[in-house]
Structure 1
Amino acid sequence: MKSKKIIILDDHTLFLKGMELILKEYCPNCDIYTYQSIKKLKHDRLNLRKFDLLVSDIELPDEDTFSFFSLLKENYPRLPILIVSMHKKNAIIKKCKAIGIEGYLLKHEDQQLTKAITTILSGKEYFSKTIVDFCKQTNNINENLSLREEEIIKLIAKGHPNQKIALILTLSVETIKTHKRNIKLKLNLKSTSDIIDFAKNNYLL
Structure 2
Amino acid sequence: MCYRIIIVDDHKLFVNGLQALFLGAPKIRVIGCFTNGRDVLHFLENGNDPDLIILDLDMPILDGFQLLPIMNRRYPKIRSLIISSHDSKDTIEHCKKVGACGFISKTQTFKTLKKVIIDVLEGREYFEVAPQKVRHLKSQNLTQKLADIYQLSVREQEILKMILGQMETKEIAHKLHLSPLTVKTHRRRIFNKLNVHNIAGLVALIKEHPEL
Give the TM interval when normalised to the shorter protein: 0.5 to 0.7
Structure 2 equivalent of residue 112 of structure 1: 112
Q: Give the match's secondary structure for 1:26.
A: coil
Q: 1:132 to 1:75 in 2, by over 3 A?
A: farther
Match of 2:198 in 1: none
Partners of 1:71 and 1:29 in 2: CA distance:
25
Residue 30 of structure 1: CA displacement?
A: 1.8
- Per the alignment, in what secondary structure is the counterpart of residue 84 of structure 1? strand
3-state SS of paired residue (2:20): helix
| Aligned-partner SS, 2:86 | coil
Equivalent residue pairs, number:
139
The structure that has the greater radius of gyration is 2
What is the CA distance between 1:189 and its match in structure 2? 9.6
Give, in whole Å, the separation in 1 of the partners of 2:88 and 2:51.
Answer: 27
Q: Assess if the C-alpha contact under 8 Å between 1:54 and 1:82 holds in 2.
A: yes
Q: 1:90 to 1:42 in 2, by over 3 A?
A: same
Contact 2:2/2:26 (8 A) holds in 1? yes
Structure 1's unaligned 5+ residue stretches are 141-187, 191-205
Letter in 2 for 1:120: V
The TM-score, its normalising length taken from structure 1, stands at 0.59
Percent of aligned pairs with the same residue?
Answer: 28
Counterpart in the other structure of 1:177: none
TM-score, with normalisation over the residues of structure 2?
0.57
Q: What is the deviation of 1:97? A: 1.0
Runs of 4+ with >6 A deviation: none
Which digits, 9 at most, give the CA deviation of each residue in 1:68-122, with x for residues without a partner?
Answer: 1101101111111101111122221110011121111111213211111111111
Q: How does 1:150-189 map to 2 (within 5 A)?
A: none
Q: Does the CA contact (< 8 Å) of 1:3 and 1:31 recur in 2?
A: no
Amino acid at match of 1:102: C
Distance across 2 between alignment mates of 1:79 and 1:98: 16
How far apart are 1:29 and its partner, in Å?
A: 5.9
Letter in 1 for 2:130: T
- TM-aligned CA distance change 1:95 to 1:189, over 3 Å: farther
Q: Which has the higher contact order (CA 8 A, sep 6+)?
A: 1
Backbone CA RMSD of aligned residues: 2.9
**Alignment partner, residue 127 of structure 1:** 127
